[in-house]
Amino acid sequence: MPRNAVRRSSVRRQFSSTDDMTSTITSAIITPVYSRSEFLNDIKKIANATNAAYSESSTVAVLNVFEDYFRNEVIIFRATDRPGDALNYRLFIHKNVDTLSMAKEGKLLDPEHQMLTPLEIWCSLYQNEPQQWCDFDANAGLVKTWLHLVALRPVKELLTAPGIPSTLQSHLPTLQGLGFNMVWFVSVDYHKNTLNIYFLVQGDLSKDQADQITGLAGSEPPTKTEFEDIQKLIDPRGYFVAVTMRYPEATIPRVAFYALNLLPDQVPIKEGPLRQFLDVCPSYDERPAAVLAWSFGQGGDTYKKLELGYAGEFGDSMRATAMRAAECFAQGN
C-alpha cells in the first residue's frame, strides 16, 4: 500500500495558546481511526516488507491490554536501516494512565524488573504527573516505557533523586558541560537494561559539539556528510539528543540526534530497509509526520532510525510538545 493511500478526516483548527492546542489534541483532534483487523493487517505487511520478526500472539496480547488507548491516542511505527532489525510501534497516551500497572496485570511486564526502579522514582518525584508511553516490538511485545515529563526538568533533579544510583550522577558534570541541562523525556528498555535521557538543547548544533557528544559513547565523530545531513534537518533554534546508559552501571553505549516533525517527503532515504519502510507504512493522519534519528555507538555501530505517524495525528502531538518546550525556555525553566 503506498504511504497515505488511506486517510480519515480529523478536526482541524487554529490554536490560540499551547494549552488550547494540547487540550484539543487530547480530545477532538485525535480521530478514532483504529481497527484491530486493519492494524494487524498493516503490521504484518510492514514486518514482511522490512524483514522484521513478527508474532501475532504477542501483538494480540498487547492489544488485549491496551486496545482502548489504541483507539483514541497516537500510534507510530519505528524501524532502522539495519537489515532484519526489529519493527517497533509506540503508543503515546496524552493523559495520566498507569500503563505500568496495566502491563504488569496483563502479563506483559515482570513486576520485579529492575528497570521499574528508576521509573517509579521519577514518577514519584513529579507526583505521578509524567505520562507513561509504551514501545512495543512486533515480535516480543512490550520492550520500553517512556515518561513524558510534561515540562522540561533539570537533569540534576532527575539524577540526584533519592534512590538513583551514584553511577548515573557521576555523569552530571560532563552532561551539563555539554549544555545538557533540561530533560523532556526518559525511557527504559526492559530487554537491554538501559535507560535513555532525552535532552532539549537551545541553539544550533555545531560540528565540534556533535563530535563531543558522539565521543560520550566512544564513537567516531560524524563524518562531514553525516553532520551536514543532521544539521540540515534539525531545528536551528534547538536540538534534541538522547544519551543511552546501561543500568545501573551507567556506561554510555550510544547517543542519538533527532530531527522532529518532518514530512515523509523530507526524509532523505532512497534505498534499503528504511526506504521499504517509508513505501509500505500507511498513515491515517491528515498531516503525515516523521522523525529521523542518527544513532552513534561504540565500534562504528552507527545507524539511522525512522518513526512514522500511523494514527492519532502524530504531527500535532509533536507541535504541541515543541510549543510547550519553547514556553518553558522562554520562562527560563
pLDDT tens column, 272-314: 999 999 999 999 999 999 999 999 998 889 999 999 999 999 9
CB under 8 Å to 310, separation ≥6 — which residues? 42, 75, 76, 77, 89, 281, 282, 283, 284, 285
The Cα–Cα gap between 100 and 283 comes to 28
Q: Please give the Cα distance from 173 to 169 (Å, whole number).
A: 9
Q: What is the pLDDT of residue 34?
A: 86
**Long-range residue pairs from 44-48, CB within 8 A, at least 24 positions apart, any chain:** 45/1, 45/280, 46/77, 46/79, 46/87, 46/138, 46/277, 46/280, 46/281, 47/87, 47/138
User: Cell 522490512 sits at which residue?
Assistant: 50
Condensed to tens digits (0 to 9), the pLDDT of residues 201-241 reads 999 999 999 999 999 999 999 999 999 999 999 999 889 99
Residue indicated by cell numbers 560520550: 216
Neighbours of 17 (CB within 10 A): 10
Close Cβ partners of 263 (under 8 Å, ≥ 6 residues apart): 288, 289, 290
> Of residues 84 and 58, which shows the higher confidence score?
58
At 139-153, the pLDDT tens digits run 999 999 999 999 999
List of residues 6+ apart from 10 with CB closer than 8 A: 29, 30, 31, 285, 286, 313
pLDDT tens, position by position, 71-93: 999 999 999 999 989 999 999 99
Average pLDDT, the chain: 90
pLDDT at 7: 41
Compute the distance between CA of residue 323 and CA of residue 275 in angstroms, rounded to an integer. 30
Residue 17, helix vs strand vs coil: coil
What local confidence, expressed as pLDDT, does residue 2 receive?
A: 40
- All structural domains of the chain with their residue ranges: 18-330
Residue 182 pLDDT grade (very low, low, confident, very high; cuts 50, 70, 90) = very high
Q: What CA–CA distance (Å, rounded) separates 189 from 34?
A: 26
Whether the full predicted model's pTM is greater than 0.85, yes or no, is yes
